[in-house]
Chains A and B, each alone.
Chain A
């Protein structure tokens, strides 16, 4: 049990969203600004497989294995916000497949190594290919 109170949870949500607003697209900025004018913005809900019924195989595996930490309110996103302009892996344009596989398998910073029992080499390659694929314009 980490024992975080809801006040701290909500403040964390606020700061995470503020972190995003500094670096994400104009549309996101507007959404945050609107929420702020009504009071504290809520924490974003986790993105899981059922959030994106049309996800392709790599995207589906990303949602299954990575999104809990690398989705909007996750630990990985929170920590990457301190270091990167774009903390969301799915929006990054600088990721190579090799780097993703290495980071996941060996761990990096405070990200623990992901064992093969959790994500097989084949699954990890699909995720890495998904995250390193050229992004469509607008992302």
Chain B
């Protein structure tokens, strides 16, 4: 797609400075570089013209007015740490980053277990805040907790606890629309309602999800439900020997998840996860191409892991966890796993600082160094039914594709209540131009392969937003037409994040690839 004329953004710089102060307008070359996508596959794409960082809703409205007058697209970021999906970079080069990371207010309703957050609140901020209040509620954190709580929920990020499907824990949003109107959803639409964070739907249509993975408004506040600190945490880490063990494992876990015995969403992952985080590829082999069966065997031996592993956790009252644990043990025992390690914790005991206890973490991103130099990852994450047969077939087709393209296989199958997400973190070596050239055809093949099965992705990198949106093609792409109709009505000039999730206003359809 064609980048915008940089003169449009440059001319707005003074006007932005008049609103937020010269110290919060960032347009020099170093600024432009610092907001680029750190994990980009093609470093020439998605360059911002600069950034402006407001501190209030009123400043955002004033910035929008300037942007509308100049037809200048803004790309809102909460903290810009959506690494693997584009980070702080805009889809359309020449856009101005609307950096909301200065907005860091936390309102806590301890009695009801809810928070009302601004976009700049990070998982570490919320962790620190809750810790200072005695940790009566736990967070749910993603594998990279460097980013914004609000931003992660708005991109449908996922965590490890029973509250791990973050987008479903949103309760009430405040957003600034492209025309400057400030709207509150749900009970927040009723001025002074004490129930904004308590009931999700309000009266009439419910709009929270309208602002999720969309470009229909700039979210400035988000209500979020927090899990009451559990009395007990019990579970097991289980390893499985063979690739084909995936199918029976999915079929054993799915009914436990659906009936609610398992309240968190387990993630079945393969042997590369620990190795990619804790070691570099050069420690295992100097051969190019996908890792051989001999190397896989060596990795599994060193870390004592199976082809697949899964961790199951139970949260809540100890009596109930003990009863549920017995069922889990029985059901998992039927599968004859390679190993089964129980874990248990009770209030008052030292707590493990992991994602299972909602403790923020960044070390999983160490896999950026898997190839030994500058790296990163890009996600490919189709949604599958909760079927062992479907999961195994998806694994087999995808793994063959990894081998064909010479990429190392790192994947997981993450449960929801009724679905699986097959999360592939394709590990990049930015110092290997030959490999970087293979990434785009590889990703396009994976998207087409999933589409041929009727599968679509739940989330994608900037590079593939149009391609993934195009796979949602029922009735001639009716959903895309609906999204465009809404975009045309709310933001016909495409001021807010044009191209996000494949949504462009009619006036910018020429910018679509």
Interface set of A (CB-CB < 8 Å, partner B): 1-13, 15-16, 42-46, 48-50, 67-69, 73-76, 78-79, 82, 105-107, 109-110, 112-118, 120
Convert B26-45 into 0s and 1s, putting 1 for each residue whose CB lies closer than 8 angstroms to a CB of A. Answer: 10001101111010000000
A71 to chain B, nearest CB (A): 9
Cβ of A1 and Cβ of B414 under 8 Å apart? yes
**Can you list 23 residue pairs at the A/B interface with Cβ under 8 Å?**
A1-B143, A1-B158, A2-B425, A4-B269, A4-B274, A6-B237, A7-B305, A8-B269, A11-B274, A12-B366, A42-B352, A43-B354, A43-B361, A50-B131, A67-B124, A69-B146, A75-B364, A78-B366, A107-B38, A110-B375, A113-B36, A115-B88, A116-B34
CB proximity to A under 8 Å, residues B261-287: 267, 269, 273-274, 277-278, 280
Which residues on A sit within 8 Å (CB–CB) of B258?
none
How distant is B46 from chain A, measured CB to nearest CB, in Å?
A: 14
Q: What residue in chain B is nearest A119 (Cβ atoms)?
A: B101
Q: Which residues of B contact A4 (CB under 8 A)?
A: 143, 269, 273-274, 277, 355, 364
Contact B362 A75 (CB under 8 A): yes
Are the CB atoms of A8 and B124 closer together than 8 Å?
no
Name the residue of chain A whose CB is nearest to the CB of B102: A117
Do the beta carbons of B352 and A43 come within 8 Å of each other?
yes
Which of the residues B303, B352, B364 comes within 8 Å of A2, measured between beta carbons? Answer: B364
In the bound complex, CA of A138 to CA of B356 (Å): 35
B145 at the interface (CB under 8 A from A): yes
A3, B34: Cβ atoms under 8 Å? no
| A118 surroundings in chain B (CB, below 8 A) | 79-80, 99, 101
7 A-B pairs besides A2-B144, A7-B274 with CB distance below 8 A are A4-B274, A6-B311, A7-B305, A8-B269, A46-B359, A69-B146, A74-B363
Task: Kindly identify which residue among A9, A15, A113, A120 contacts B354, using a CB–CB cutoff of 8 Å.
Answer: A9
Chain A CB within 8 A of B185 CB: no
CA distance A8 to B425 in the complex (A): 16
- Cβ–Cβ contact A69 & B143, under 8 A: no
A5 and B311 alpha carbons, distance in the complex (Å): 6
Q: Which residues of A contact B237 (CB under 8 A)?
A: 5-7
Contact assessment for A115 and B309 in the assembled complex, using a CB-CB cutoff below 8 Å: no
The answer to whether A68 and B23 have CB atoms under 8 Å apart is no
CB-contacts of B367-408 with A (<8 A) = 367-369, 373-376
The residue of chain B having its C-beta at the shortest distance from the C-beta of A104 within the complex is B34
Option from B24, B142, B360, B367 in Cβ contact (under 8 Å) with A1: B142
Shortest CB–CB separation between residue B254 and chain A, in angstroms? 18
Interface size counted on chain B using CB atoms at 8 A: 80
Chain A residues within an 8 Å CB radius of B367 = 2
Given contacts A1-B157, A82-B369, contact A112 B359 (CB under 8 A): no
* Choice from A42, A115, A120 contacting B35 with Cβ under 8 Å: A115
Which of B145, B159, B361 has the most chain A CB within a 10 Å cutoff?
Answer: B361
- For residue A46, give the distance in angstroms from its CB to the closest CB of chain B: 6
Complex partner residue of A48 from B87, B101, B124, B366, CB under 8 angstroms: B124
Output the nearest chain B residue to A116 by Cβ-Cβ distance: B26
Query: For residue B425, which residues in chain A have a CB less than 8 angstroms away from its CB?
Result: 2-3
Q: What is the distance, in angstroms, from B332's C-beta to the closest C-beta of chain A?
A: 14
Residue of B nearest to A108 (CB): B374
Min CB–CB distance A9 → chain B (angstroms): 5
**B residues in contact with A78, CB < 8 Å:** 277-278, 363, 366
Chain B residues within an 8 Å CB radius of A106: 30, 33-34
> What is the CA–CA distance of A68 and B125 in the complex, to the nearest angstrom?
10
> Which of A6, A9, A10, A112 meets B38, CB within 8 Å?
A112
